[in-house]
Amino acid sequence: MAANKVTRCGSTEFHWGKRTYIMGILNVSPDSFSGDGVSDIETAVVQANRLVEEGADILDIGGESTRPGSSPVTVEEEIRRVVPVIEKLAHKISIPISIDSYKYQVAERALDAGASIINDQWGLKKESRLAELAVERNVPIVLMSNQRDKGSFDAGIGRDTADYRDVMVEVIGSLKASVAIALKAGVPRENIIVDPGIGFGKTWQQDIEIIRRLKELKALGLPVLIGSSRKSLIKMVLKLPADQRVEGTAATVAIGIANGADIVRVHDVKEMVRVCRMADAIIRGM
């Protein structure tokens, strides 16, 4: 259980340790690795409503693909993709909206439009001002450990990755540095969530090791989010395309929960809600 018992997000309260929370993924990008990206507002709104109906606790909206080797988009283009969708949804859905971006201007405009969580895949290493924005708006921030700055990519697509003697030492060290930046900026500790960054600069074997050793992140005393859904560790084990990795994702989610995950970021919300409920019943004694 995370040391911080409750995180508040507007009118929503997350009671860590009570149950697993589900973050549904909405990629407003034409080149999502998982093949579920959408490129128009109406389709995005329909998909978002479906994720809410299926049981998502948080809706994570991103406008730039994070697949290995993808090209970055401009701030203006990312805003054009995500802000109209958030504006359409903010007053129509009852769950918090997270903006999946490491760019200050994008996050700022998303919060203006109605988002209430910042999900920073670079853990304040690219844009430390996101911490100040989180303080100013009093919103939770997800800090991810990203090793792609070391010139490494996922081995699942045949790229070299950094050679860590102990991937968990690397991840914990990276997250400690990100948390320190956030705390120095004044982010309340209860507003910080950490993510080990599965698929971001680690080999698929290292990703599996992270899930196996996830309990070690509890030393940080913060809620833990994992995002293993449809990723290449599943591809490499099961040899299946992205849209056929539901069962593999389910295994990573269940074991992640057993090892301390508080939030799971997933594409297949309906199926993962069932997995989480069953896992919670066994692990948390619900």
User: How far lies 62's CA from each of 102, 107, 212, in Å?
Assistant: 10, 10, 28
The mean pLDDT of 111-134, rounded to a whole number, is 97
Q: What is the pLDDT of residue 53?
A: 97
Task: State the catalytic residues.
Answer: 231, 265
Q: What is the pLDDT of residue 36?
A: 63
**CB-CB contact of 10 with 3 (8 Å):** no
Q: Model-level pTM?
A: 0.91
Most distant CA atoms of the chain, gap in Å? 48
Per-residue model confidence as pLDDT tens digits over 201-221: 999 999 999 999 999 999 999
Q: How far apart are CA 85 and CA 83, in angstroms?
A: 5
The mean pLDDT of 255-261, rounded to a whole number, is 98
Q: What is the pLDDT of residue 38?
A: 79
The pLDDT confidence band at residue 150, using thresholds 50, 70 and 90, is low
Per-residue model confidence as pLDDT tens digits over 78-92: 999 999 999 999 989
Go through the domains of the chain in sequence order and give each one's CATH number: 6-279 (3.20.20.20)
Q: What is the pLDDT of residue 40?
A: 85
pLDDT at 159 over 50: no
pLDDT at 5 over 60: yes
pLDDT at 31 over 80: no
The pLDDT confidence band at residue 277, using thresholds 50, 70 and 90, is very high
Residues in Cβ contact with 263 at an 8 Å cutoff, skipping those fewer than 6 apart = 20, 21, 22, 23, 57, 58, 193, 223, 224, 225, 226
The mean pLDDT of 245-266, rounded to a whole number, is 98
Q: How far apart are CA 226 and CA 219, in angstroms?
A: 16
Lowest mean pLDDT among 54-58, 64-68, 73-77: 64-68
41 CB-contact burial (10 Å; exposed 0-12 / middle 13-18 / buried 19+): middle
Q: What is the pLDDT of residue 71?
A: 76
1 is written with which tokens?
A: 């259980």
pLDDT at 153 over 50: no
